[in-house]
Every structure is written in C-alpha cells, then in structure tokens.
Structure 1
C-alpha cells in the first residue's frame, strides 16, 4: 500500500486549518473595516469614537489569538515534516503509535489517546484539539442542542455554501420540528419566517413538508411527518456534522489504522484462511475470549501460533471476515528457520507429522546443530522427535 494514503492526512489537516483561519481573519478585517469606514463618513461624537476604538481593540485581540493558533499549526506542520524525514525503521515504529492514538481519538477516547500519545512521544502527530471540538459538538447534537453546531456553520458559512452542504438547513429544520413537538406553533412560524427563506431556492419542497408539521401531532403515523418527528434525528445530525467537518478538513472517513489493517489482511488472506473462518466458533471476539483463545494456543505446543498464518490467529480471524482473499499469481514460501531463505531448490519444503512445514536443508542443519541422530528429526517449534522416514515432501499447487 502506498504510504501516501497513511501520511497525507498528517499534513493536510494543519494546512486546511490554516486556510480556514486566514479566511476567517480576512472576513473579520473586511467586516470591521466596512463598519469603521461607514462610521467615519459621518460626524463623529465622542461616544462614536469610543465605540470605534473598542471595536478596533476587539478586532486586534481576535487577530492576536488567531495568530497564536496559526503559529501552533505551523510548528505542528514542521514537527510532522521532521517526523517524515526520519529513517524508515524509526518512522514505521512511530507511525504505528500515531495510528493507534488517532484511532482512539476517532472513537472518543480523548483522555486515553492523549496519555498514549504522550507516553510514546507522538503528541505533535495527532490532532487531539480538533477531534475534541468535534466530539463536543457531536455530543451536544445527540443531546438535542444545535447552538454549537450552528455557530460552527456560521464560521464556515462561505465554504459550506460553495460545497452545497445541507448541514445548516438540516439543523434549522430540526429546531423547527422541536418547536412543533412541544406545541409552540407561534414560535415555530416565527422561526420559519426568519431562517427558512435563505434555503427556499434549494430546499423548497422540504420546507413545505416540514411546515406541514403545524397540522400534525408528534404521534402521527403518516409519512414523512412520522420520520421528521423521529427521536433519532439528532443522532443523524451528529453523524452529518462529523462527515461535513471531515470533508471540510480533508480528514479520511475511515481511520488510517483501519486502512492499513484491512490492506495488510487482504494481502495475507488465502482461501485456507476463509475455510478456517467457516469452522471458527461464532462468538464475538472480546478481550476475555481473546485471552482464552490465545492462552490455549500458547499453552498447547501443538497449536502454538508463533509460526501460523496471522490471519488464522484469534486476533485477526474474525476481523478479516469481510476482507477479500489476496490474488497471488505465484506463491512465495519463506523458510521459518531462515527468514532470509525460501523453500525452493535444495531447500525443498517438507511436512512433519506435527503438521508443520520447514525447509529440508534448514531442518537438517537445525538437527545437526542440536545433536539429533541422522535417522531422527525434531520439530523446532514443539520439540517433538520423529523418525526421518515420516517426513513428507510438500508440493505447492
């Protein structure tokens, strides 16, 4: 898999945050400049001058705060560039720690992710502040509060409009629904007159449908009014906000850890793995069941999974259920006794009665080093001894 898929979010998010910040600063300066120009065009009283000075001081403070945030983003980008310039072995180790911390962030484990990142020195490589804000807004939406999300929409109004986002309209519609739910019809009508007109050209039919709630109670069974009154609409809005936010900042929908894991499993999965999955017990893989499976495998030398296909291990077997089988035009067998060697030529693959496969040349060398008789062979994994005549040559189809 191309490293770009895993590393691009590392650099994209700080850059997108900087772009958004610069646009907001430009918007603030243009808005306040226009107001000051309008005030200066008329005769100014001392009170007006005080307002102008206060407005300028507020603008200055906002710009200073935003500049500090931009400086932190620039420092973060430099740290990430330095991370990518490290030797491959160091980069691979830190990448795994970063992917794990990022996955924890996406699953809402903010405190655990922060501690993990600090312990493994990858704090500059994760965006804890970004995901913390996302989690806060999404949690508020699931609790039935849209104020924080509407404020976010207002900060990114221009970009959301260019992208054709429906988030703001969906929030306004839901607030109208909540007013109808409690029977506040007068407030609902006033709310619709204030907030629906900007969306009339695009969402006219949906506005007509939601306004019909004024004639339907929350216990209605008619569609689409029953769906509009559904209690899970706030959870739908929370998911829509997360998706919109990630699209805006070029954050992948799927965690990079999931992408890397699925790619690795797809590269290793064989038809034999799929067959093993059919006969595997169907109980969910939890921490307790994993410990039992792993403990049994480690306690029985005949089922020790140290040299078994990782896809067939208790850790990955169920996770790989939906992963496609790798398409390999040519098999390449690696000798477990000599990772640098392959099972070909004089080092032909042979199978012991224990069911394990080794290279014949490597197995003979192993037995010689350990003083095994010429008519005997020993399984390096289990320590079992067998007659040399029981060794069978393996053929790969």
Structure 2
C-alpha cells in the first residue's frame, strides 16, 4: 500500500522544466545585455583614454573637457550598471522562489501527506495562472496571483506574458515595429531555431509599404531587409515576396491576392511570433492545464465517446460538447483491456455483482436499476428510451467480456 501512495518526485520535476526555464532565460538575457553594454562602454572609454594620452583625437585640443566628458560617461555607465544589477537581482530572486517551491517536494514522501496537499494546491494555482496569461487574461491572472500564495512564484511569467501580449496587440494593429525589434534582440537564438519570424516580420512591413506607397520604396525595403533571410532557408518565401511587388494590392491573381489578405497575414504573424517566443523559453505550445486535462481525457476516451448517439454516457466528461469534447477530439482512445458498461439509469458500473440485463429491444441496463424500477411498477420495467413496458422475466442477462 505504501508503494501505491509513494510520491514520484522525479516524474513531477520532469513536467516542471518550463516553470524554471522562463525566469532563467530572462536572467540570462539581462546578464547578456549587461555584459554587452559594459564591454562596449569600457572599450570606448579605453580608446578615448589611449587617444588622449597620445594627444590624438578631438580631446587633444582641450584635454580637460575631454576628461570631464569621460567622467560623465563613466557616471552614466555606473547608473546603468546599477539598473542592470537591479534587474538581474529581480530575476534571480524569482528564480530562487521557484526553485524553493520545487525543493519543497524533497521533504514530502507520500501523496497523502498534508504538505503535498498544500503544495498541490499551490501548483493548481500556478497552472490556472499559466492558462489565464496564455489566453491574454492578464488582469484576471493578476487578481488571482495577488490573492494567493503563488504570486511570487508566478511573477516572472507575468512579465513574460505581458511583454508578449504587448507585441501581439501591436501585430493586431498591423504594426510590426515591436515584433521586428524583438527579432533583432533574439536574432542569434532565432537563427538557431531556423525560425521564419524575422522574415515574416519583414513580410508584414513589406505589405504595408507596398500597400501605401509606390513600387520603388517597397522594392528598396525588400532589398534591404528581406534578401538577407535567403541564407536562413527562406529562399522560396523571399522569391514570393519579390514576385509580389509586381502585383498591386487590388490584384485578383492567386496566390498574391491571398498574400495581400491583410487580416489573415497579420494573424499568421502573431501565431508565428507566439510559437517562437514559447520555443525560445522552452515553453510547450499547450498550457499545463490543457495538457493535464488531455492526459486524463485520453485515459477515459472510448470508441463510444464524442458522438451524438443515444448510447453515449451522460456522465462521461469526454462527451461534454463545446468543452472537454473539443479538447479530446484528436486524442487517441484509452487502452482498456476489459469493456466497461455504465447503467444509463443509475450511472453505476455494471459488473458481476450488478450484471447487465438486455431488453427485447436490445437496450442494456443494470440489474439493480431494473429491479428497483420493477418494484415500484408491480413487476414491470419501463424502458426510459423507447417507453416500452416489459416484465423482468422477458429480459436476458448479458455476460461481460
């Protein structure tokens, strides 16, 4: 019995990689930004000092003014480093909070421990927060986080999704400025992913230029910003973009008419940005809530699930339309060695102690439900589907396989 309720810590931690990855990537990005800024400023200062010592450059005429300028730059560097250090400290603190939350599992041995119930409740709040933020319900997510103990552990994701949502809204307004800036900041990682985001962002800009200006500016933009992406494996897309310039926005020629479909193109840009942003931070495309629900639904799903026929169970979550049925639509069937029959009247599982009985019309109900109904109707059973009336003796026992 102890083995059945033993906590599988390794299995839980395997599902939490993305929980740690987001603040880690944010910390790494902040550190990289600080390093590049520091190296650039120190290189410029060192070059200026060397030129001043040799009497070269603009500072040779007025060394005192040049020194004052260098001191001012060093003060700006110090203030900037203080800001970058505060940013790194913030992300490091959030990463530590998440690691501490996962470390609590090391002291929990069984699923029945009160500590695990508290930990699981906090994890449930995190899962709900993750789903809300992915769907863009940032205000609701903030209220949930503020009113729960998961606020500190989830705040790093909050800033991540807030930034993402800001770029998505810009794309919805047909503005790719923010998206292209994001592509520039992450160009090395996007190149490793062989992502089309940068070229797609250029596509969006090209469509705006071509749609509002003459051909020449659009051609110049394409040469400057799109041709460079041919080396990243997007040759066909670049060729299509260049061919697009020969057609006006009012063209009826396919596929260029479809490419000028503004709403469809910008929706695709937003979807591509979201997918790449998740990939950069090792986030799965599905939220933890959806993935968990799908795992449970797949275990319950049978060949009878999801249809609109009368034989589906009214208590089956997989058969609930517009909600769970949508999630379970493309899931595989669960592996069931033996058939499981559920009585449509009582909702109880039929087994050897409560075997199924078949009516002359072929409908199946549990013996317990049949006898309870017959006891109230002078020994007669009324089928709830066809409303036909039978004697219990007319019904046959069915053997489960």
Superposed pair shares fold, TM > 0.5? yes
Task: Find 1:148's aligned residue among 163, 174, 178.
Answer: 178
Structure 2 residue matching 1:41: 3-state secondary structure:
helix
The 5 A counterparts of 1:118-197 are 118-126=146-154, 127-196=157-226
In structure 2, the residue matched to 1:92 is 120
Structure 2 CA distance for aligned equivalents of residues 213 and 378 of structure 1: 74
TM-score computed with the length of structure 1 as normaliser? 0.72
Report 1 or 2 for greater relative contact order, CA contacts < 8 Å, sequence distance ≥ 6. Answer: 1
| Greater shift in the superposed pair: 111-120 or 65-74 | 65-74
Structure 1 CA distance for aligned equivalents of residues 377 and 190 of structure 2: 70
What do residues 129-180 of structure 1 show as CA deviations (whole Å, max 9, x unaligned)?
A: 1101101001101211122122222222222233333222222232123212
In structure 2, the residue matched to 1:41 is 50
Q: 1:317 to 1:229 in 2, by over 3 A?
A: closer
Question: What is the total number of aligned residue pairs between the two structures?
Answer: 343
Structure 1 CA distance for aligned equivalents of residues 245 and 34 of structure 2: 41
Structure 2 residue matching 1:75: 3-state secondary structure:
helix
Structure 1 CA distance for aligned equivalents of residues 133 and 167 of structure 2: 15
The CA RMSD over aligned residues, in Å, is: 3.9
Structure 2 CA distance for aligned equivalents of residues 192 and 67 of structure 1: 39
Matched, 1:257 2:289: yes
Q: 1:59 to 1:132 in 2, by over 3 A?
A: same
CA contact (8 A) 2:227 2:238 kept: no
The 5 A counterparts of 1:186-335 are 186-196=216-226, 198-202=228-232, 203=234, 206-231=237-262, 232-274=264-306, 277-279=307-309, 308-312=315-319, 316-317=324-325, 319-330=327-338
Structure 1 CA distance for aligned equivalents of residues 209 and 197 of structure 2: 19
Unaligned runs of 5+ in 2: 1-7, 53-58, 106-114, 343-348, 380-390
Q: 1:395 to 1:22 in 2, by over 3 A?
A: farther
Q: 1:131 to 1:324 in 2, by over 3 A?
A: same
Structure 2 residue matching 1:250: 3-state secondary structure:
coil
CA contact (8 A) 2:301 2:332 kept: yes
Matched, 1:80 2:98: yes
Unaligned runs of 5+ in 1: 282-302, 335-341, 364-376
Structure 1 CA distance for aligned equivalents of residues 96 and 396 of structure 2: 58
The 5 A counterparts of 1:330-341 are 330=338
CA contact (8 A) 1:180 1:213 kept: no
Structure 2 residue matching 1:215: 3-state secondary structure:
coil
| Greater shift in the superposed pair: 220-229 or 132-141 | 220-229
Q: 1:42 to 1:53 in 2, by over 3 A?
A: same
